[in-house]
Amino acid sequence: MFDKILIANRGEIACRIIKTCNRLSIKTVAVYSEPDQDALHVKMADEAYLLGPAPVKESYLKADKIIQIAKKTGAQAIHPGYGFLSENADFAQKCAAENIVFIGPSVEAIIAMGSKSAAKEIMQKAGVPLVTGYHGTEQSEQKLLEEAEKTGFPVLLKATAGGGGKGMRIVQKQQDFSSALSSCKRESLSSFNDDQVLVEKYLVQPRHVEIQIFADTNGHCVHLFERDCSLQRRHQKIIEEAPAPSLPDNIRKSLGEVAIKAAKAIEYVGAGTVEFLYDSDGQFYFMEMNTRLQVEHPVTEMITGEDLVEWQLLVAYGENLPKSQHEITASGHAFEVRIYAEDPEQDFFPSTGKIRHLQFPAQNLYTRIDSGIVESDEISIYYDPMIAKLIVWDKDRNSALRRLSVALSQIQLVGVKTNLAFLAAISNNLAFAQCKLSTHFIEQQHDHLFSQQVSSNSEILALISVYLFLQNQHQSTLKNQARQDPFSPWGIANLWRNGEVAFSRFNLSETLNDLINHYSILVTPQPAAEQEQFKTIIIKNDQPFAEVVLSAETHQNDASTTSANTLLFANIAEKRICSNIVRTDNEITLYLHGENFTLHLEETSDHLLEDNVDNNLLAPMPGTIIQISVHKNDHVQKGDKLLIMEAMKMEHSISAPADGTIEEVFFNVGEQVTEGTELVKFCADKS
Ligand code: ADP
């Protein structure tokens, strides 16, 4: 086996490859771009070398520099991962010229499958079924239109050099052909430096089913079953599963046989994927062959128990495949979801920014996380916005789906927009559970998957506000300790124990479906209760809206985490609630029962401490004056009750913040006041 290999990639796939190397005691060399200098793959590798600035052309695509580093470090082989140089025949050739093993297929196989047209030609000769259409070299618009008409609309135009869903146009009718062709060619030229296209019949309800194949240099070729990758957005996979559900056994068998036939047709070596469209009429058609390890390979690993990176290393070293066809078995069901920094509401537009808080579920036999991102990492415009892959396995599809839903609900991520809620909606979708799969699933289920977000209920608002109250209190205790003035009344932590009503107001807002909800929340600690109790009054649109009484305790999590991540335990009406709250600046995200709610803190005020001492006693909420205990010019002691207000069927006393004189009482019993109105003019004694 190799002693040392170089990994010409970054992110989750680089980390994934290093894990296998560590297990096999193979030393690893990482390469990185400037912004990746502290990335996980750099830390995990035994050695790491800088390639250049962020843009891929100046870093991860620098073939010569990568080969130089391999030579300098004594790496015997290069694993290209997926993307970047993984299907670059020139790079494979250069590696061979320098006596470095390229962990992938032969240069000829990469070239043969690099063009969708050439691949179709080879497969047609080998008797592999193709979608009807045209993949010839004559590229005039007239010829292509003729072929499209022959094929019958709708047709799909595809860049022959295309990949990653780019350079594809659906043409519904003849009138649209010309403009679709120009746009397809433009995109192909700019993305792939080639504007050749092919024409295919556009299948209306297909599933994407692919076969994992493996071949060694000693003439063995096997398949490791199929994966269903029908769940796609913009022709790109987001959820994959193995085995493909509700696939007739004869089809499953034929797909495996045909994939091996396809691999043998090009004397394939290494890991490869033969992709098919499985049409609603029960026919399947070859689409293309990917000559690398796929993003979704973990679902195959979960059902077979094999490590495909280990297989790649063995094959590249010239060993036999570890197993023959009949020794490869599959059990249970696995799903993979791709967690992206993107906004599903904005047509899945990538989102960038710093990951402020990141917590994954625990990994075990059933749950696996492949990621190259850790808390504090930046998602930039330069690289793929995939944050992680969550892979789950269980004995059957339903059990695995339940696991997927639970595991998704356990992921906490703050800092960038993600598709987590969207993935969760799919994992809980009835049609998905019933295996109604097709590549149009997302369009068809649109209304269920993009359902309106729900606003925070009063419990959520109460929990967040009490958390903020406790946090302020904690800070004032710390401040007080720092001042070393334990007798300062302004630093008292347990305000309500003084028998005074100290209340804090938090103005929060949340943005839902482009609308902003504003809430004003009053937290009033209750002096009488045995436990630390809080009444929280929620005011929406200037009207008392709800009232929640809770007792709460908080636990700051592991001090090593960079974000303020706190567990809040609370009792609301005898219900014990444990929620996790993450605060980053003024964004507060609460995680509860797999749902999360993010609110923005607009301002805060501790009324007793700040406003009232300033001679103004203000109404903490809209309500009615029900009792006035003082008159103009009365002298009062600190803590004396001055008046009582009623709001939300609750009484609130307004007390003297210090010894002093009442200079004016502005209202009479029975009068209504709005929030923030000055009730009493008060003048504290000069000490
Ligand atoms: P790429 O190489 O860019 O990934 P593919 O040829 O693999 O492109 O196709 C990507 C996806 O586009 C498929 O998984 C499928 O959803 C859709 N697609 C491709 N060809 C057809 C077709 N003839 N009819 C309907 N959908 C298609």
Q: For ligand 1, say whether the CB of 400 is within 6 Å of any of its atoms.
A: no
| DSSP 8-state symbol, 219 | S
Give the closest residue to 158 by CA, choosing from 133, 129, 125.
133
One-letter amino acid of 188: S
Q: Ligand 1 pocket check: which of 208, 287, 441 to mutate, most ligand atoms within 8 Å of Cβ?
A: 287
Hey, how many other C-beta atoms are within 10 angstroms of the C-beta on 19? Answer: 14
Spacing, Cα 487 to ligand 1 middle (Å):
72
Does the N-terminal peptide bond of residue 154 adopt cis geometry, omega within 30 degrees of 0? yes
Spacing, Cα 370 to ligand 1 middle (Å):
25
Which residue among 207, 292, 368, 583 is the active-site one?
Answer: 292
- In sequence order, what are the residues at sequence separation of 6 or more whose Cβ sits closer than 8 angstroms to the Cβ of residue 212? 223, 224, 225, 226, 227, 271, 272, 273, 294, 297, 300, 308
Q: Report the pLDDT averaged over residues 58-86.
A: 97
Q: Indicate the pLDDT class of residue 498, thresholds 50, 70 and 90.
A: very low
Query: What's residue 109's pLDDT?
Result: 95
Q: For ligand 1, say whether the CB of 198 is within 6 Å of any of its atoms.
A: no
447-452: Cβ within 8 A, 24+ apart: 449/344, 449/422, 449/425, 450/344, 450/345, 450/422, 450/425, 451/425, 452/512, 452/513
Of 96-105, 149-158, 505-514, 561-570, the poorest mean pLDDT is in 561-570
**Where do the domains of the chain lie, and which CATH numbers do they carry?**
4-103 (3.40.50.20), 107-131+206-331 (3.30.470.20), 132-201 (3.30.1490.20), 335-451 (3.30.470.20), 458-601 (no CATH), 612-684 (2.40.50.100)
Spacing, Cα 63 to ligand 1 middle (Å):
29
- Give the three-class secondary structure for 396: coil
Q: Atom 14 (ligand 1): residue with closest C-alpha? A: 208
Comparison of pLDDT for 491 and 12, the residue scoring more: 12
Spacing, Cα 341 to ligand 1 middle (Å):
23
Q: Indicate the pLDDT class of residue 607, thresholds 50, 70 and 90.
A: very low
Q: Indicate the pLDDT class of residue 489, thresholds 50, 70 and 90.
A: very low
Hey, how many other C-beta atoms are within 10 angstroms of the C-beta on 407? Answer: 25
- Give the three-class secondary structure for 11: helix
Q: Ligand 1 pocket check: which of 113, 153, 168 to mutate, most ligand atoms within 8 Å of Cβ?
A: 168
| Cα angle 188-191-194, degrees, rounded to a multiple of 5 | 45
Hey, how many other C-beta atoms are within 10 angstroms of the C-beta on 665? Answer: 20
- In sequence order, what are the residues at sequence separation of 6 or more whose Cβ sits closer than 8 angstroms to the Cβ of residue 616? 678, 681, 682
Spacing, Cα 101 to ligand 1 middle (Å):
32
Q: For ligand 1, say whether the CB of 277 is within 6 Å of any of its atoms.
A: yes
Pairing label, strands 101-102, 77-79: parallel
Strands (E), 109-244: 133-134, 155-159, 168-171, 197-201, 207-215, 221-233, 236-242
Give the DSSP per-residue string, 661-683. EEEEE---TT-EE-TT-EEEEEE
Q: For ligand 1, say whether the CB of 119 is within 6 Å of any of its atoms.
A: no
> Which residues on adjacent β-strands are paired with residue 134?
199
- In sequence order, what are the residues at sequence separation of 6 or more whose Cβ sits closer than 8 angstroms to the Cβ of residue 521? 461, 462, 465, 505, 506, 507, 508, 536, 537, 538, 539
- Average model confidence (pLDDT) across the chain: 89
| pLDDT over 60 at 237, yes or no | yes
Structure tokens at 239: 């959820």
Q: Report the pLDDT averaged over residues 151-156.
A: 96
Quick: pLDDT tens for 304-344: 999 999 999 999 999 999 999 999 999 999 999 999 999 89
* Spatial distance between the Cα atoms of 200 and 277, rounded to a whole number of angstroms: 12
Q: Indicate the pLDDT class of residue 606, thresholds 50, 70 and 90.
A: very low
Q: For ligand 1, say whether the CB of 232 is within 6 Å of any of its atoms.
A: yes
| pLDDT over 70 at 405, yes or no | yes
Q: For ligand 1, say whether the CB of 275 is within 6 Å of any of its atoms.
A: yes
Active site (annotated) includes residue 292 = yes
Q: For ligand 1, say whether the CB of 163 is within 6 Å of any of its atoms.
A: yes
Taking only Cα atoms into account, the Rg of the chain, rounded to an integer number of angstroms, comes to: 32
Query: What's residue 488's pLDDT?
Result: 44
Query: What's residue 557's pLDDT?
Result: 61
* Spatial distance between the Cα atoms of 90 and 300, rounded to a whole number of angstroms: 30
Q: Atom 23 (ligand 1): residue with closest C-alpha? A: 202
Q: Atom 17 (ligand 1): residue with closest C-alpha? A: 235
Q: Which phi-psi region, left, alpha or beta, contains residue 122 (left: φ > 0; alpha: ψ -120 to 50)?
A: alpha
Give the closest residue to 40 by CA, choosing from 26, 28, 58, 24.
28
Q: Indicate the pLDDT class of residue 563, thresholds 50, 70 and 90.
A: low
Q: For ligand 1, say whether the CB of 164 is within 6 Å of any of its atoms.
A: yes
Q: What is the 3-state secondary structure (H, E, C) of 240-288?
A: EEECCCCCCHHHHHHHHHHHHHHHHHCCCCEEEEEEEEECCCCCEEEEE
Q: Ligand 1 pocket check: which of 277, 278, 288, 438 to mutate, most ligand atoms within 8 Å of Cβ?
A: 277
Q: What percent of the chain has pLDDT over 70?
A: 91
| pLDDT over 70 at 560, yes or no | no
| pLDDT over 90 at 437, yes or no | yes
What's the predicted TM-score (pTM) here? 0.85
- Binning the chain into helix, strand and coil, the percentages to the nearest 5 are 30, 35, 35
Spacing, Cα 293 to ligand 1 middle (Å):
18
Q: For ligand 1, say whether the CB of 235 is within 6 Å of any of its atoms.
A: yes
Ligand 1 atom, smallest distance to 201 CA: 23
Spacing, Cα 440 to ligand 1 middle (Å):
11
| Cα angle 463-469-474, degrees, rounded to a multiple of 5 | 125
Query: What's residue 612's pLDDT?
Result: 40
Spacing, Cα 232 to ligand 1 middle (Å):
10
Q: Indicate the pLDDT class of residue 534, thresholds 50, 70 and 90.
A: confident
Hey, how many other C-beta atoms are within 10 angstroms of the C-beta on 554? Answer: 15
| pLDDT over 90 at 274, yes or no | yes
Q: For ligand 1, say whether the CB of 202 is within 6 Å of any of its atoms.
A: yes
Q: For ligand 1, say whether the CB of 280 is within 6 Å of any of its atoms.
A: no
* Spatial distance between the Cα atoms of 131 and 329, rounded to a whole number of angstroms: 30
* Spatial distance between the Cα atoms of 561 and 356, rounded to a whole number of angstroms: 10
- In sequence order, what are the residues at sequence separation of 6 or more whose Cβ sits closer than 8 angstroms to the Cβ of residue 484? none
| pLDDT over 90 at 611, yes or no | no
